[in-house]
Homo-oligomer: A and B are copies of this chain.
Amino acid sequence: MSDYKAFKVAVLDTVAHVQINRPEKINSMNADFWREITEIFNWADATDGIRAVVLSGAGKHFSSGMDLTVLAGIGSQLGTDPGRNALKLRRKIMGFQESFNAVERCAKPVLAAIHGYCLGGAIDLIAACDLRYSTVDAQFSIKEIDIGMAADVGTLQRMPHLIGDGMLRELAFTGRTFAGEEACSMGLVNRTYADHESLLAGVLKLAREIAAKSPVAIRGTKEMLRYMRDHRIDDGLEYIATWNASMLQSEDLRIAIAAHMSKQRAEFAN
């Protein structure tokens, strides 16, 4: 495992546990964070032995979002021509977006385990994960409105697929804080846990369960669900038919059916 400045990465058998590791800064997102998260998820994507990823925060919080010194740094690079400044800013924003796209694109399911603060950019981040679980007392807020900007690294783009449009608008316009239970009832997280410890235990157990499934089937399932966020039903049916045209030739299907018949646990290659 490489050495990371903003993260701690542990591999537990076939599950990678990725921790944001700047607890003294409430895991805020500095330049190291933005660069390393891309590297880590590209690595998880390309490494056959990793079959699921858990993402959490070290210390008392998941993350307080963007480190404001990063914004200040960008501001200091701007010149006097608003046109050229716009080109620079656009490129910068797209760079940040790419970091979270790497999370979404990772072929292995990514489970976020959220406790404490999950603010601003942290909402953008968990929206790019597959599954979200939190403690009952986790604190969520679409904070960007309070620093005078529209969220631009994924919250406004991905959240409409996760929670109802009506509630999302309230949260995005007001920036109000909501806790784990409300997050669960609106569908942002799938389940809440009493505390950080039981949260991590529960999410890691779920990750191991998913990692034991056929990697070919998990890969296809994730790909299809990603695809359907943006495509028509007829396109989706055609795409899965084309995808499964090769995947149904995999030995995993035979192994799974044989195990199913003999009531035994199937073992799949990476």
User: Interface on A for B, CB 8 Å cutoff?
Assistant: 68, 71, 78, 81-87, 89-90, 93-94, 97, 101, 109, 130-132, 144-152, 154, 156-158, 160-170, 172-175, 187-190, 206, 209-210, 213-214, 216-225, 228-257, 260, 266, 268-269
Contact = CB atoms under 8 A, between A and B. Distances in A.
Contact of A157 (B97, B147, B237, B253): B237
A123 to B, nearest CB: 13
Contacts of A168: 225
A233 B230 contact: yes
Contact of A82 (B94, B158, B224, B250): B250
Contacts of A71: 253, 257
B249 A147 contact: no
Given A172-B221, A268-B148, A241 B97 contact: yes
Contacts of A174: 206, 209-210, 213
A100 to B, nearest CB: 9
A157 B132 CA distance: 21
Nearest to A48: B84
Nearest to A110: B169
A251 B68 contact: no
B149 A217 contact: yes
Contact of A253 (B147, B247, B249): B147
Given A160-B161, A169-B109, A217 B144 contact: yes
A187 to B, nearest CB: 4
Nearest to A189: B166
Nearest to A154: B237
A245 B83 CA distance: 9
A172 to B, nearest CB: 5
A164 B187 contact: yes
Contacts of A130: 169, 173
